[in-house]
Amino acid sequence: STITAKLELKPPPYPLNALEPHMSQETLEYHWGKHHRGYVDNLNKQIIGTELDEMPLEDIIITTYNKGDILPPFNNAAQIWNHDFFWESMKPGGGGKPFGELLQLIERDFGSFEKFVEEFRSAASTQFGSGWAWLAYKANRLDVGNAENPRPSDEDKKLVVVKSPNAINPLVWDYSPLLTIDVWEHAYYLDFQIRRPDYISIFMEKLVSWEAVSSRLEIAKARATEREEEEKRKKEEKEVGNSDNQAVEMFVDSKSDDSETE
């Protein structure tokens, strides 16, 4: 018999009434208890017995995004990830200002914290229809088939504000998400009805966990550095391989591929 890795519904890191009065318990009961749970139940049904079954959630997302030609499980998989990330983007008594290196980078890349807030608010309020707005750390390497992957220069590594429709998230563009707000109507309709701009303001002023955003930034930077070193190592190995004969080159390449996936 095969063992299947059943995905579990992760609870928010606080009780469902903990964000009152800014986000009601009723909203959390439906948003987490029904919508988020629905995505988990539906994904488990979709992937049972398929090759996706034992993959980590992020790999399911990238695989089913399928370079933009989206496969059916994508919406559920990405929405599970987005909601986990959203709950952890907030905390009771949140809001205020970011601090430390995060604040420095925000000031460097947006001019000021206020300008960042303006840009984030604009992204969240102008997302037509359902979707998400994000603060993300972008340290792109272009993943182009046989081409040389140029290593990102320091200017490439920066904070960006982006919005995404429906279930799409910045993982599919190879960005590291740092903060998100859900602008599907179900996220705010019970508390704010049509007033999406008020919901966005309350989120920024009373709910954002800048601690969570800061620790995500640290992880994102470490990941970017790790990748750069890996690229450098691969390039060096390739150069060594080129000077040897064909058989050795193939051996080196496949070995480095293996270590990458572990």
Partner 1 sequence: GHVRGLQSFSLPELPYDYGALEPVISGEIMQLHHQKHHQTYITNYNKALEQLHQALAKADSPSIVQLQSAIKFNGGGHINHSIFWKNLAPIKEGGGEPSKASLGWAIDTQFGSLETLIQRVNAEGAALQGSGWVWLALDKELKKLSVQTTANQDPLVTKGSALVPLFGIDVWEHAYYLQYKNVKADYLKNIWKVINWKYVSEVYEKENP
Rounded least distance, CB 54 to partner 1, Å: 25
What CA–CA distances, in Å, run from 141 to 19, 58, 134, 230?
38, 18, 20, 12
- Residue 17 vs 149, nearer CB to partner 1: 17
- Residue 42 vs 215, nearer CB to partner 1: 42
Task: Out of 142, 194, 240, 250, point to the residue binding partner 1 (CB under 8 A).
Answer: 194
Q: How many angstroms separate the CA atoms of 175 and 227, rounded? A: 13
- Residue 79 vs 209, nearer CB to partner 1: 79
Task: Out of 6, 15, 21, 34, point to the residue binding partner 1 (CB under 8 A).
Answer: 34
3-state secondary structure string, 184-237? Answer: CHHHCHHHHCCCHHHHHHHHHHHHECHHHHHHHHHHHHHHHHHHHHHHHHHHHH
Rounded least distance, CB 29 to partner 1, Å: 10
Binding-site size for partner 1 (CB under 8 A) equals: 19
What is the residue whose two structure tokens read 């081409």? Answer: 147
- For the segment 141-170, give every residue that binds partner 1 (CB under 8 A): 165-167
3-state secondary structure string, 26-62? Answer: HHHHHHHHHHHHHHHHHHHHHHCCCCCCCCCHHHHHH
Q: How many angstroms separate the CA atoms of 182 and 246, rounded? A: 52
Helix (H, G, I), strand (E, B) or coil at 162: strand
186 binds partner 1 (CB under 8 A): yes
24 binds partner 1 (CB under 8 A): no
- Residue 104 vs 193, nearer CB to partner 1: 193
177 binds partner 1 (CB under 8 A): no
Q: Kindly write out the interface string for residues 65-104 of this chain, putting x where it contacts partner 1 by CB under 8 A and - elsewhere.
A: ----------x-----------------------------
Q: Kindly write out the interface string for residues 35-54 of this chain, putting x where it contacts partner 1 by CB under 8 A and - elsewhere.
A: x--x----------------
- Residue 76 vs 209, nearer CB to partner 1: 76
Task: Out of 57, 62, 103, 190, point to the residue binding partner 1 (CB under 8 A).
Answer: 190
Other CB atoms within 10 A of residue 235 CB:
13
Helix axes 100-110, 113-126, angle to 10 degrees: 70
What is the sign, positive or negative, of the torsion defined by CA atoms of 196, 121, 17, 80? positive
Separation of first and last alpha carbons in the chain: 25
128 binds partner 1 (CB under 8 A): yes
227 binds partner 1 (CB under 8 A): no
Which of 258, 257, 237 minimizes the C-alpha distance to 248?
Answer: 237
Task: Out of 62, 92, 189, 214, point to the residue binding partner 1 (CB under 8 A).
Answer: 189
Count the alpha carbons within 13 Å of 57 in the hemisphere toward its beta carbon.
22
Residues at the interface with partner 1 (CB under 8 A):
30, 34-35, 38, 75, 128-131, 165-167, 184-186, 189-190, 193-194
